[in-house]
Amino acid sequence: MGDRESDIYELYCTAQDLGTSFLVRVQTNRLAERPADAGPHDPANRVFTQLAAAPWAGRHRITIDQDETTWLRVKFAAINTLPPVGKQKRYSPQVLTYIHALEEDPPAGREPIDWKLVTNLPVEDLSVAVEKLGWYALRWKAEVFYKVMKSGCRAEEARLETAERLAKFLALIAVVSWRIFFVTMSARAKPDAAPDSVLTFAELTALDQIDAARTRPRLQRPTLAAYLLQIAMLGGYLARKHDPPPGNMVVWRGMTRLHDIAFGISIGSSRRCG
């Protein structure tokens, strides 16, 4: 799965050769096989023209924000796509399925949702097309996950001399990045969940002791969202009234500090006198 930068014909051919599947947002209006009934000057030899001629398959309602929903019109079409000019001797045509989702009534001041996707997976009806839209909607979460790896765990700053060491390092920080992402997203999806469903006993104990030391305790309700807020504040989150929910980076900084505090508590509790 990829964004518009992945709209590369050679990539599609490689995926077909390897027997794997892809779902990519379309950027290029590629050449397409001209329909048999098209006239000599008909611009139907382009993918976007043929996709525009396809009928709308139906509507789908999505949630954009916690308080905002909108309707998308959805269509799809299987189009015989031709290789770029100059590469038609090296690559063969491919029958690819294109999916178009267009927002019906976008609010003022915001660009409408307008996605064109391409896949080599079969799309027989509206429900399957909607499924592919749902898959692509998860791409941003993958981007955030890699942002935690690169910016939080500083994967790109590693100066390891062998591929084996680099692979082990990436495997380790992938687990760390997943944990940060999991904690943050869990608190958004289920804010009233029990905190011990996500956080460890040592983390909860440290947060409880930090809160007990305040003149005005903040943990009024034992919910996951309340505990995540305290972690984010350790990372610099201001928790003002109109601030957006804590993001992965501020949670990463808060978790780093929380683990240092929890480690200090464990050292202090294990000291022996005499």
Average of per-residue pLDDT across 42-51: 85
Among 78, 24, 23, 84, smallest CA distance to 51 is for: 78
pLDDT above 90: residue 56: yes
* Domains of the chain by residue range: 4-137, 175-269
Topology classification of domain 4-137 = Transposase Inhibitor Protein From Tn5; Chain A, domain 1 (3.90.350)
Number of Cβ within a 10 Å radius of residue 172: 11
Tell me the pTM: 0.74
Answer yes or no: CATH 1.10.740.10 is held by domain 175-269.
Answer: yes
Number of Cβ within a 10 Å radius of residue 76: 24
* Sequence-ordered strand ranges (E) for 11-121: 23-25, 58-65, 68-81, 94-103, 114-119
Whether 115 and 1 have beta carbons less than 8 Å apart is answered as: no
Percent of the chain exceeding pLDDT 90 equals: 67
Strand partners, 59: 73
Per-residue pLDDT reduced to its tens digit, 195-224 = 999 999 999 999 999 999 888 888 888 999
96: DSSP letter: E
